[in-house]
Amino acid sequence: MANARTARFSRRGLLAAGGALGLGAALAACGDGDGDAKSGGSDSTGATDSESGPWSFKDDRGTTVKLDKVPTNIVAFTGVAAALHDYGVQVKGVFGPTRTKDGKADVQAGDMDISKVTVLGNVWDQFNVEKYATLAPEVLITTTFDDAGTLWYVPEASKDKIAKLAPSVAVSVYDRQLTASLERMWELAESLGGDMKATRVTDAKKRFEAASERLRKAAKAHPDIRVMAGSASPELFYVSGTNLSADLEYFKALGVNFVEPTEEAKKPTGGWFESLSWENVDKHKADVIIMDDRSSATQPADITETTWKKLPAVKAGQVIARSAEPILSYDKCVPQLESLAEAIEKAKKVS
C-alpha cells in the first residue's frame, strides 16, 4: 500500500496508504456528501430499541438520514464499528482494515469479535457490493477526512452503486479536536440505542477526562520536550502537521510541544504531512516520536534504515505508538493520552 501512495498523491489514498495523516484538502474534491462537513450538529431522534421509531440523524455533512425505525442492519467502516461496539451497538458488516495477514483482528477493529461480522473489504478500494446488498443494509456509517464529506473507505468506482442500497452517515474527523468527534460518535451511538449510562461507558469518559488532565500537566511541566508524529513506509518517512488531525489538534490544545513541518513542505499533501527520504529523516529534532500503529504502515521494529536508528529519540527508546485513525470511543482514546503523558513525563531531553 505504501507503493500506491508513492506512485500517486490521490486525495483519498494519502491516509489509507498507511502514511501519515489524512487526505490532502487541497487536492481535487470528489465527495458524495452534501452540506458543510464542519457544521453538522445533532438532529437525532432515535429510540432505544429497534421496534420503536422513527429515527433520524443529521451527520457532519449536514445530511439528515430519516428511517421508519432505529436501524439494526448497520454496515460501518471498521473503526466506526469498533467505536459503536464499545457503546453496545452491533453492526452486521464492516469495511476497512479488519483482519491482519495472520487472521487476527486488526488494531482498528478494537474489541469487536470479527468472526461475527461480514467483512466486505479489508484493504483500500475493496468493497464487495454484491455481498453488501445481501445484508439488506439500512444505513452505512463511516468517517470523513475532508470538507467535501467524502465517505472514508468507500471506493470511488463503486460509491454510486453503494449509495443506492442504503443512506449514509458520516462523522467528521477533519480539522477539529478529538473531543468534537468523540461527542458526535456518542450522539450517534445513543440514537442507535447504545447504553450510554452503562458503567463501562461512563467510567471510560471519566478516565478520558483524567487522562487529558494528566497530559495537560505533563506538557506544562515539560514544555521543552518536543514530540514528532511520524509514519513510515519502505520508501519514505512522513512527519505530520497538527492542524488537521483530530487527535493531534487535541494534544496540541493540551499544550504538547509538537514538531511542525514547514508550510512549504506540506503543500503537496494539502497540509497533512511532510514527506522525507530516509536519508533526511533527521531533518527535525525531536525528543519523543509517536508512530502510526496501523497495519498499513511500517512499524518501528521493522525499520532497518541506519538514519532512523541514529535518531536521538530512537536511541533513547523514546518512541511510542499512535493511533493515526483513533477509534472514536472514550475507552479507546484513553491509552493514547496516557501513553503520551507518560512518555513526556519520563522523556530525557535529547534534541
241-269 pLDDT, tens digit each:
999 999 999 999 999 999 999 888 888 88
Residue 209 confidence (pLDDT) above 60: yes
The order of strands in the sheet holding 168-172 is 118-121, 93-95, 74-77, 139-144, 168-172
Q: What percent of the chain has pLDDT over 70?
A: 85
- Detail the DSSP E strand segments found in 35-189: 55-58, 64-67, 74-77, 93-95, 118-121, 139-144, 168-172
| Mean pLDDT (whole number) for 54-64 | 98
Mean pLDDT of the region 273-297: 97
Q: Please tell me the distance from the alpha carbon of residue 308 to that of residue 314, in angstroms, as a whole number.
A: 7
Quote the DSSP letter at residue 107.
G
Percent of the chain surpassing pLDDT 90:
82
The stretches of 170-233 forming alpha helices (DSSP H) are 178-191, 199-221
**pTM for the model:** 0.88
Cα(176)–Cα(246) distance, integer angstroms:
5
User: Beta strand pairing status for 319-322 and 288-292?
Assistant: parallel
Q: Quick: pLDDT tens for 214-231.
A: 999 999 999 999 999 999
CA-nearest of 77, 48, 44, 73 to 59 is: 44
pLDDT digits (tens, 9 = 90+) for 303-331: 999 999 999 999 999 999 999 999 999 99
Cell of 55: 429515527
Q: What pLDDT is recorded for position 36? A: 36
For 85, the grid coordinates are 461496539
pLDDT band at 52 (very low <50, low <70, confident <90, very high): low
8 A C-beta contact, residue 234 and residue 304 = no
Retrieve residue 232's grid coordinates: 513510515
Question: Quick check: 278 and 236 in contact, CB under 8 A?
Answer: yes
pLDDT value of position 262: 87
- pLDDT at residue 22, rounded to an integer: 36
- Residue 220 backbone phi and psi in degrees, to 5: -70, -35
User: Cβ distance 80 to 143 under 8 Å?
Assistant: yes
Write down the mean pLDDT value for the chain: 88
Residue position matching grid coordinates 432515535 = 46
**Average confidence (pLDDT) over 36-59:** 57
pLDDT at 3 over 90: no
Judge contact between 159 and 44, C-beta under 8 A: no
CB 209 within 8 A of CB 66: no
For residue 189 the three cell numbers come to: 451511538
Under 8 Å between Cβ of 172 and 38: yes
